[in-house]
Chain A
Amino acid sequence: MTKRDPLFAIKVEDVVKSYAEVMVLRRIKFSLQPGEVAVILGANGAGKSTLLRILAMLTQPDSGSIDIYGNDIAKNGPQVRALTGSVLHSPMLYTDMSVRENLTLFAELYRLKNIDTLIEKNACKVGIQSRLDHRVRTLSHGFQKRAALARALMHKPQLLLLDEPESGLDSRSVSYLENVVEEYRSSGRTILMTTHIIEHALEIADKAIVITDGYVHLESTTTCLNKSNILSAYSHTLPKTSGDL
């Protein structure tokens, strides 16, 4: 097992990713300390979701290196996945199974013990206790997202990756999400999320990373930022080099 700098929860160095001729991420570089809640901001198509998919190990970068809690993700896949919980765009649940059946399946895949207790506890955290025995197909988008969040929390990951977690959620669902974020912050674990809601990002996160044109254009603590700083970073376009496309 390749162990590197454990001081960082995430250390991303020069990550490049392109789809066909379109370069989505160009030498992305940033790091997060354990216990930080960070938010990735950027206009549509900036590469936020691609970056999160790379960190969740669903997409391979073309080049660059990523360490998660000292583990190189290229070499220690299963160890990194055990440390990471992810809620991406789609809930990724079996719609013809109940929420409980879905959570049980994933608890078995993560080789967890006391599965029934864990399910009850995490369902309570996201407010889906009353829907545990409902088939996912019958649930609203908001409840499906909450169920996906419960699945991501089941193995108590050190790092939580959330891709626009508040999209399609009502205010009550958002408050459950905020409780989870607070719990993570207070227990010294790390969250990296993407969002389009700048005000909410500044409120909830300790650090903001703005991606523009596939580069990290701005990386700062949220106390130093306001909405206009971020919007001006969105509109900043870097000059294209001949090798970019």
Chain B
Amino acid sequence: MRESLAVIWAIGRKDLLLETRNKDVIVAISVFALLVLMIFTFAIDINQVNAKLTGPGILWASIAFAGVTGLNRAFALELEGNTLEALMLAPISRDLIYAGKMLGNFLFITAAQIIVIPIFAVLFNLAVLRWEMLVVSLLTTIGFSAIGTLFAAMTIRVRAREVMLPLLFLPVVTPLIMAAVESTSHVVNDSSWPEIYQWIQLAIAFDIAFIVISAFIFQQILED
């Protein structure tokens, strides 16, 4: 178990190291998400009533769309140097490669959210910087990374992968986005934890399902 975790961390740490040098993924996700937020703040007359109504949906839609650009880039790096094959040469289970790549994507999307969510709070004047929001954010990001890593691997050799990835990714994560939007609505409306938790449960269920199914399918994709 400890050895497996060390392998997962080695792959995730490698992605982080490359990101600190290239600054491709986190910048792409953050800038894209902020641009979407800015467009909506100009397009909609934000006031205290409609901010609570529309804000959570705009936040998670912007993170989901921006996440796709980051996921595309994260696997493109493996394609450039044919390095995914180098990982496949190692005597490790394909699950560990999946988990390592998922860890890297999780860290990138989380880092982007650390930039985006406070700016969202200011633009929409909403009190989202609460621990409940941290739970919502972490669970949603786990699901995004789990399914995003799988679809990014599936589309890595497809010529139009920039188009294919959102077409595959967004419909599948829609239930997770719904759970995130609903629980964030409860957070901004200062609802009680049990009200938030009913949506958190849905996010947990999707995360578990996404991770188990994706890890299994990822093996088949690499073998093919």
Give A residues with C-beta under 8 Å from B.
56-58, 60, 78-79, 81-82, 84, 86, 88, 90-97, 101, 105-106, 108-111, 151
User: Can you spell out 30 A-B residue pairs with CB atoms less than 8 angstroms apart?
Assistant: A56-B89, A57-B88, A60-B224, A81-B89, A81-B91, A84-B89, A86-B89, A90-B81, A90-B82, A92-B81, A92-B82, A92-B83, A92-B85, A92-B89, A93-B86, A94-B18, A94-B81, A94-B83, A95-B81, A96-B18, A101-B17, A106-B86, A106-B90, A108-B6, A108-B10, A109-B11, A109-B87, A109-B90, A111-B6, A151-B86
Indicate with 1 or 0, residue by residue over B35-57, a CB within 8 angstroms of chain A CB atoms.
00000000000000000000000
Give the size category of B's interface with A: 20 to 34
B79-104 residues at the A interface, CB under 8 angstroms = 80-83, 85-93
4 smallest A-B Cβ distances: which pairs? A82-B91, A92-B86, A109-B90, A81-B91
Docked-complex contact B91 and A78, CB < 8 angstroms:
yes
A88, A92, A106, A151 pick with most chain B CB within 10 angstroms? A92
Docked-complex contact A108 and B7, CB < 8 angstroms:
yes
- Judge if B157 is at the interface, Cβ distance under 8 Å: no
Pick the residue among A91, A95, A96, A110 that contacts B90 (CB under 8 A).
Answer: A110
**Which residues on A sit within 8 Å (CB–CB) of B192?**
none
Q: Which residue of A lies closest to B21 (CB)?
A: A96
Pick the residue among B6, B82, B89, B91 that contacts A79 (CB under 8 A).
Answer: B91
Q: Which residue of B lies closest to A111 (CB)?
A: B3
Docked-complex contact A81 and B90, CB < 8 angstroms:
yes
Distance from B115 Cβ to chain A, minimum over Cβ atoms (Å): 23
Provide the bound-state CA to CA distance between A96 and B19, in Å. Answer: 10
Distance from B144 Cβ to chain A, minimum over Cβ atoms (Å): 24
Q: Which residue of A lies closest to B13 (CB)?
A: A105
Docked-complex contact B88 and A95, CB < 8 angstroms:
no
Given contacts A78-B92, A105-B14, contact A93 B3 (CB under 8 A): no
Docked-complex contact B89 and A58, CB < 8 angstroms:
yes
Given contacts A92-B82, A92-B86, contact A97 B14 (CB under 8 A): yes
Pick the residue among B7, B17, B90 that contacts A97 (CB under 8 A).
Answer: B17
**Which residues on B sit within 8 Å (CB–CB) of A96?**
18, 21-22
Docked-complex contact B80 and A95, CB < 8 angstroms:
yes
Q: Which residue of A lies closest to B3 (CB)?
A: A111
Distance from B217 Cβ to chain A, minimum over Cβ atoms (Å): 16
Distance from A82 Cβ to chain B, minimum over Cβ atoms (Å): 4
**Which residues on B sit within 8 Å (CB–CB) of A88?**
85
Distance from A99 Cβ to chain B, minimum over Cβ atoms (Å): 13
